[in-house]
Amino acid sequence: MAEGTFFLAILEISMPLYSLTSESITPLPPTNFSAEQIYERDDLQRLLRDQIEVLFPDEAMLVLAEEFGDWDDSRRRVDLLCLDSDANLVVVELKRTESGGHMELQALRYAAMVSTMTFEQAAQAHAQYLQQRDLAEEDVEHQARQAILQFLGWDESQEDGFADNVRIVLASQNFHRELTTTVMWLLEREIDIRCLRLIPYKLANGEIVLNVDQVIPLPEAAEYQIRVSQKRQRERAERKRQGHIKIDLTLGDQSWDRLTKRAAMLHMVQFLVASGINPIQIADAIPWRKREGFLMNKEGLLDANEFCSAAEGTVEGTRMRFHPKKWFCEEDQLIHHEGQTWSLRKYWGRFTPKALGNLIQLAKDAAIPEADSMEFRIHE
């Protein structure tokens, strides 16, 4: 208890900055954002959005969205929603007050709300952000997706391993004791949260100097942070390894070498449907993915142009908008079954081998003639 009291006392003490000349060391007078007419959204948020490294000097960070609020209550919005290099979401809350208000409670609520965000939803949010800032190119959805993939160093999207954790960063001129007590309690329960103190100082010429100081967790906790970072790097390396696998596939008398995950899934689904398996049965054999997320159907035996026209807009059952680049919808890729046309989504993650295994078992359970000759092998 004594240690905790001492820790809180440290937070209430702001170490001054000094102007150093050959004649003297003069303390710089601290000021506050309100007195200097520096506003929360129009100034702090705008400037930090464009220079997010001010808050994250030791790591790469991508701003996904500003004033993000993709939920029913439009009054609740994340100041800045970011993505770190380990594919974790980062909720950044800003206050220009000298107490922090109840920003920790807001941030926790926002973190819970974005915790279910998928890669596709993140790409949509980033596309909207690029449009809001007049940075959008002609195909803004593709632009946003590529920006995220390039930042993460991924060749393709991976829902598994994306947003496994949500970090919280609170930035304010100071924090009252109730807030810091809550943050310390959350840290003890392994919630990734930190407090950054932003203190403005005024020079004699009227220029404002900003001191950014991490106060929770204390820098002395760096060893723990390094261990956490190393663990994340190992996990990221494993995800990357899984993302680059190639697959040898045999279906009946046909064989393919070193297929991508998406190509292997397309050949498997086409083969099963041609063998009499209903696409719904295929979807049921991959229960961890909702059918609407990877199989789409339209009425009629459609060609590629007809299917793309019928699929325009939002994919039924999801928030995703249809884009031909994201689905197998060329003439030789579409699947026709019982008066309907089906398309398979291109993006498959590290559980693709499990999906292929389940589909081979489905073929055996359905007793299709070629089931015993179906197999696949993974190339690392």
Q: Are 118 and 132 in contact (CB under 8 A)?
A: no
Question: Long-range contacts of range 213-217, CB-CB < 8 Å, 24 or more positions apart?
Answer: 215/10, 215/11, 215/175, 216/11, 216/175, 216/180, 216/183, 216/184, 216/187, 217/187
The rounded mean pLDDT for the chain is 84
> pLDDT tens, 155-167?
888 777 888 899 9
**Helix, strand, coil shares, percent, the chain, to 5:** 40, 25, 35
Pick the more confident residue, 64 or 21: 64
- The Cα–Cα gap between 291 and 284 comes to 8
Confidence check: pLDDT of 2 > 50 = no
Provide the β-strand partners of residue 345: 327
Query: Does residue 293 or residue 71 have the better pLDDT?
Result: 293
- pLDDT (mean) for 313-335: 86
7-21, 281-295, 328-342: segment of lowest average pLDDT: 7-21
Stretch among 93-107, 129-143, 278-292, 322-336 having the lowest mean pLDDT: 93-107
Q: For residues 300 and 321, what is the distance between their CA atoms, to the nearest angstrom?
A: 21
Asked whether the predicted pLDDT for residue 36 surpasses 90, the reply is no
Residue 369 has pLDDT above 70, yes or no: yes
Residue at 247: amino acid letter: I
Alpha helices in the chain (DSSP H): 2-11, 46-50, 103-114, 119-132, 140-152, 177-188, 222-243, 261-274, 279-284, 304-311, 352-365
- Tell me: pLDDT of 9 over 50: no
pLDDT number for residue 74: 55
- Name the phi and psi angles at 142, rounded to 5: -65, -40
Q: Cα separation of 311 and 324, whole Å?
A: 9
Judge if pTM exceeds 0.85.
no
Q: In residues, how long is the chain?
A: 380
Instruction: Answer yes or no: is pLDDT of 252 > 60.
Output: yes
Rg (alpha carbons) of the chain, rounded to whole number: 26
pLDDT of residue 226: 54
pLDDT tens, position by position, 92-149 = 999 877 777 788 888 999 999 899 899 999 999 999 999 999 888 888 999 999 999 9
**How many angstroms separate the CA atoms of 48 and 104, rounded?**
19
| Other CB atoms within 10 A of residue 133 CB | 12
The pLDDT, as a whole number, for residue 3 is 40
Q: How far is CA 108 from CA 76, 112, 167, 186, 239, in A?
A: 12, 6, 10, 10, 27
Looking at residue 232, its pLDDT comes to 63
Break the chain into its structural domains and give their ranges: 2-241, 246-379
How much is the average pLDDT of 31-51? 85
212 DSSP β-pair partners: 198
Torsion of CA 52, 56, 59, 63, to 10 degrees: -30
Tell me what percent of the residues of the chain surpass a pLDDT of 70: 87
